Amino acid sequence: MRIAKRLETAPLGAFHYRLLLILGLGWLFEAMDVGLIGFVLPAVAKDWQLDPVAMGTLGSVGLLGLGLGAILGGMMGDAWGRRKILISTLLFYSFFTLLAGLSPNYTWLLIFRFLVGLGLGAEIPVVFTLMSEFSPAAHRGWLTILLESFWAFGWIAAALIGYLVVPRWGWRVAFFLGATPALYTTVLRRALPESPRYLERRGRIKEALEIVSLVTGKPVVIERSEAEGSPPKVTLKDLWSPAYLRRTLTLWVLWFGINFSYYGLNYWLPSLMVGKGFTIVKGFEYVLIMTLGQVPGYFSAAFLVDRIGRKPVLASYLLMSGIAAYFFSQSTSVAQLIWWGLVVYFFNLGAWGVLYAYTPEVYPTGMRAAGSGWASFVGRLGAIAAPLAVGKMISWWGQEPAYPYIFYLFAATFVITALAMLLWGEETRGRTLEEISPAD
């Protein structure tokens, strides 16, 4: 029996939950660091008298780093191992987050946020590749979405820092807190295993089987077919081969659309709330309440994804995100703003969870992290474009006239992305990674 078969048929047990917690805490710290910029942006703009374009640039430069980092991290994860890259990137982005808090001026803050983005982006493809490669086929969807749900808690942590820390102690202290995840690498070094699928491809069969024994709780014996070597190497050019062209295009549209709407909304929402007349504290308080909608959004998607499939859940959640974004723009009271904000976060983050479950499923082991990294990079192009586009709209028309059109843009993007999944997406529910991507 091949290593992959053992992993796919292993019963769900303590190992999977422990891995979920280990990776989930790392993902929480990543979300906190990504989210911080949106909550410190109004304070930075006030201190340094930044105009909307400069604010948008500050939001986008980190996303440029995220995109480039995702490509590098994916390729390095396939070449050098998921575990090594995960630990290294956490240290990297924590160090430069600390330096961001010490920035003497706007230019240095741009540089440090770009470098933070490189580290954050490199972590993204390896985290979900690792979780996916350990998960049994019957439970892979909801395990991956539960991992993604830690993002909500990280974003809530960023919102709490924005609400409790920034008004009292300033934005620099917020960045100092964002550097604390470096301490978590001591846990990762002791507790995080390498992917047996990766080890098998590198010919390290004995190490792979030792880790499989931890997953199954049973000793394993090297079989001749396993000891003879690993499958042929799959190259990056296969992303554009006829076998993977449709999958790659679908993922790129999904990643671009979801990133464009999510980051355009989240990077500007605290500032837009302040611009509508709320104080920084009150605006952050309302955004904090809205972000709570993420948690049940993730859990509902996790409940549904292995029951009715990736395609219907992702398409319907994207469509509902678009509808909620439209009604958010039409809100005329605080109650309406909070309600439709909760609904946007509920469906938007539920869709994110399904996307992270779906992405590593469509590529074989030799290109899984790299393929996920390229999809993430294309997504970051959307994430870069959105804050800049919003900044330009505000600069041209003024905040009040531009406000509804900003949300019309996000709503339309959600709907178009939903149609792409409906028309081109492939259902992967219940299938092993090797059945989906037989190149392994």
pLDDT for the residue numbered 93: 92
Supply φ then ψ for residue 253, to 5 degrees.
-65, -45
Residue 154 reports pLDDT greater than 60: yes
DSSP conformational letter for 133: H
Give the separation between CA 436 and CA 439, rounded to whole angstroms.
9
Reading the block at residue 91, the tokens are 């240290």
Q: CA dist 354 to 24, 257, 399, Å?
A: 16, 14, 33
Residue 229 reports pLDDT greater than 50: no
Give the separation between CA 91 and CA 182, rounded to whole angstroms.
5
* pLDDT tens digits along 68-109: 898 888 888 888 888 999 999 999 999 999 999 999 999 999
pLDDT for the residue numbered 354: 93
Residue 440 reports pLDDT greater than 60: no
- Could you please report the per-residue DSSP string of 359-403? GGGGS-HHHHHHHHHHHHHHHHHHHHHHHHHHHHHHHHH-HHHHH
Tell me what the mean pLDDT of segment 431-436 comes to. 64
Say what percent of the chain tops pLDDT 70. 89
Lowest-pLDDT range of 105-109, 181-185, 277-281: 277-281
Lowest-pLDDT range of 85-94, 166-175, 232-241: 232-241
pLDDT for the residue numbered 118: 92
- Which of the four pLDDT bands, split at 50, 70 and 90, describes residue 171? very high
Residue 227 reports pLDDT greater than 50: no
pLDDT for the residue numbered 106: 93
Q: CA dist 269 to 273, 309, 350, 406, Å?
A: 6, 32, 19, 11
* pLDDT tens digits along 109-135: 999 999 999 999 899 888 988 898 898
Tell me what the mean pLDDT of segment 190-205 comes to. 86
**Range with top average pLDDT, 149-153, 173-177, 398-402:** 173-177
Q: CA dist 420 to 199, 313, 414, Å?
A: 35, 13, 10
* pLDDT tens digits along 9-67: 888 888 999 999 999 999 999 889 888 887 888 889 889 998 877 887 887 788 788 88
pLDDT for the residue numbered 96: 94
Give the separation between CA 389 and CA 410, rounded to whole angstroms.
11
pLDDT for the residue numbered 232: 47
Mean pLDDT (the chain, rounded): 84
pLDDT for the residue numbered 12: 84
Record the pTM.
Answer: 0.78
pLDDT for the residue numbered 1: 47
Residue 231 and residue 201 in contact, taking contact as beta carbons nearer than 8 Å: yes
Tell me what the mean pLDDT of segment 199-225 comes to. 77
Reading the block at residue 316, the tokens are 């319907």
Containing domain of residue 59, as a range?
A: 3-436
- 339 or 334: which leads in pLDDT: 339
pLDDT for the residue numbered 421: 94
* CATH code of 353's domain: 1.20.1250.20
pLDDT for the residue numbered 384: 81
Residue 228 reports pLDDT greater than 60: no
Give the total number of structural domains in the chain. 1
